[in-house]
């Protein structure tokens, strides 16, 4: 059996290398010992993700923490308008509070209108937790989260490509034309 502590002291592995070695089964019977080291060395797991809806852009930064979700420095419970607040909560409500218990998510959102910002926020939360689980937890739990979110609403994980069509000449909008008069 390998002495994991001396191996890690001799070789300067970073946290990602150790996590990859555990996932591949390189340590075999020493996993319990390594997890003690992992908690100490790898306490700063983090991932960043950007999502868009129309012209609104939300950047989500997920890291280990206490379960806080903040939007532009404010708790997610303070999102305005109140009628769309539940839309921003959807990923948390669908996956359950326990998945977010040891995860802090900070979101910066700008551009667009209120509705587009809310949809960008919910998409950023969903995509960041799936990416976090894929990178730092395991593949099976990531696939489970992904399947749950896709079954509820595909737009939580897949981008919505629709944009505003530009206005053209000869009318007051993209498709509408000025009324034609013969006299």
Please tell me the predicted confidence (pLDDT) of residue 11.
46
Higher pLDDT, 28 or 154: 154
Please tell me the predicted confidence (pLDDT) of residue 146.
94
Please tell me the predicted confidence (pLDDT) of residue 38.
38
pTM of the model: 0.71
Higher pLDDT, 16 or 44: 44
- Checking if the pLDDT of 39 tops 70, the result is no
- Report the C-alpha gap between 57 and 36 in whole angstroms: 38
Please tell me the predicted confidence (pLDDT) of residue 6.
52
- Report the C-alpha gap between 126 and 67 in whole angstroms: 14
Please tell me the predicted confidence (pLDDT) of residue 108.
95
Please tell me the predicted confidence (pLDDT) of residue 45.
75
For the segment 71-96, what is each residue's pLDDT rounded down to a tens digit?
A: 999 999 999 889 999 999 999 999 99
Question: Residue 144 corresponds to which tokens in the numbers above?
Answer: 């489970």
């Amino acid at each position: 059996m390998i002495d994991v502590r001396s191996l890690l002291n001799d070789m300067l592995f970073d946290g990602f290398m150790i996590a990859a070695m555990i996932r591949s089964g390189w340590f075999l019977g020493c996993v319990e010992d390594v997890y003690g080291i992992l908690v100490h060395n790898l306490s700063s797991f983090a991932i960043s993700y950007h999502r868009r809806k129309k012209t609104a852009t939300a950047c989500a930064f997920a890291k280990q923490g206490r379960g806080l979700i903040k939007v532009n420095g404010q708790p997610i419970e303070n999102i305005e308008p109140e009628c769309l607040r539940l839309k921003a909560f959807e990923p948390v409500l669908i996956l359950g509070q326990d998945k977010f218990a040891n995860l802090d998510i900070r979101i910066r959102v700008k551009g667009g209108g209120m509705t587009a910002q809310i949809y960008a926020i919910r998409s950023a939360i969903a995509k960041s937790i799936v990416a976090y689980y894929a990178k730092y937890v395991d593949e099976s739990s990531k696939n489970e989260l992904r399947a749950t979110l896709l079954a509820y609403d595909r737009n939580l994980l897949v981008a919505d490509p629709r944009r505003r069509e530009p206005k053209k000449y000869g009318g007051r909008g993209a498709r509408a034309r000025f009324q034609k008069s013969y006299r």
